Chains A and B, each alone.
Chain A
Amino acid sequence: MTDSPLIEVEGLRFSRGETEIFRGLDMVVPRGKITAIMGPSGTGKTTLLKLIGGQLVPDAGRVRIAGEDVHGLSRKALFRLRRRMGMLFQSGALFSDLDVFENVAFPLRVHTDLPESMVRDLVLMKLQAVGLRGARGLMPSELSGGMARRVALARAIALDPDLILYDEPFVGQDPISMGVLVQLIRRLNDALGLTAVVVSHDIKETLSIADYVYVIADGRVMAQGTPQSLDVDRDPRVSQFIHGEPDGPVPFHYPAMDFHDDLLGTGGPR
């Protein structure tokens, strides 16, 4: 059982209005590893997480988690499956009317009948793991961005999930909290043996913790492999993205008429 992948994505197609976001995406996420999904902004990385979490329904194709077809499940079964998943949102998404302690306690309270003393112990353990046991009484509005994300991480692991989905965990973090988050994600994975999917375009940080990387662009998997193999990949598109070059197959310039003609005003009114 441990060899079979936790998530299998097959021929996934999804479009928003007229725009096709995925055109036949295939992907496999192995158990107990950190799998990174990378790609330029607007390639639908967050959409992919929402498709995996069953919040969006694909036009075609399948997503299976532990063998269960996510989009074939009833609402009830889907909610049961989600108890085994944690998700860390870009904004943290802490409940603004609850303090830090109650935010982390929330999944425990709604899904278990544990006595209050045990809820307290569990919450303190999770907060200790992210280094914020002392912040338990603060409200989300009193936290910095990095702290909010760590609290959200404690909440995401409150029920000891098998799978955790990270949506852009490093965006907008100062170097210190970035380092803290990178460490935490790796440590949690090693200590709890959970499977992680990290969606990000912070290349250096993501490559430093990922076991396997998918690069998506134009609705498909453009490249995949270990961080080392991608680093030396010769495909110009992969190389441009991984090494952050401003110009390449993805052009620096938005499509426009010839610059010379444009300056001379021979092309049109503006």
Chain B
Amino acid sequence: MTHKEPAKIVDVGDGAAIPTKGDRGLFTAWRIAFVGAIAILSWLCLTRPDPYLAIVKFVPDGIYVTFKVTVGSILLALVFGLVTGLGRISANRFYNGLASLYVEVIRGIPLLVQIFYIYYALGRFVKIPDLLSAIIAMAVCYGAYMGEVIRAGIQSIPKGQMEAALSLGMTRGQAMRHVILPQAFKIILPPAGNEFIALLKDSSLVSILAVADLLRRGREFASESFTYFETYTVIALIYLIITLFFSKLIGIMEGRINENS
């Protein structure tokens, strides 16, 4: 019997770091950034309402669209990711090959190019709303990354769990559903949370399409008022506040789940 040690993997996500309890340094860094961003934004609006308050009043529609794109994409990406992740560990060669191909192709093309491509490719064959095609484009991309997260989560569950379920007469599907996936979920949540935050930030790329997200609203305002510096200062601060808020929220959710186990 030859046992191969699995290679150690250093996981570096591009999402905001989620502060964990006990990680005091990050924790205070989070506070400084979050409180600081809100303070600066408030101060700018109070001391120079023109143009700052005008910008802040102009962009909320865009925040709403950014949320719609992000939440829609992450939900769809989870579905794609689950199908892909299960495919990557499937014994069925065709399914496995297809899932691997999807991951390889997507990972090899810049996100911005994918968004353009999927948006215009979809537009060529079917008439669907811009927002929906932006969501699909984001989800196709993030589905590949999510697939890897889900695959790693499933593979981290000890082999004995599947064996025990099978020996009780369960099918592989039943074992996945009742035994493996519920356990993998806890392991998947932190990296999936990071993906969510990364997606939130990357959703600004859809502003190049005809989708009026936060960044796009900013561009519209700036090009009419010629207040580029002021507008992008506000846009950056709002993205920062939203991102920090969600990284905290995900950290809290994670803590809850760990407490319950």
Q: Do A and B bind each other?
A: no
Instruction: State the B residues within 8 Å of A (CB).
Output: none
Instruction: State the A residues within 8 Å of B (CB).
Output: none
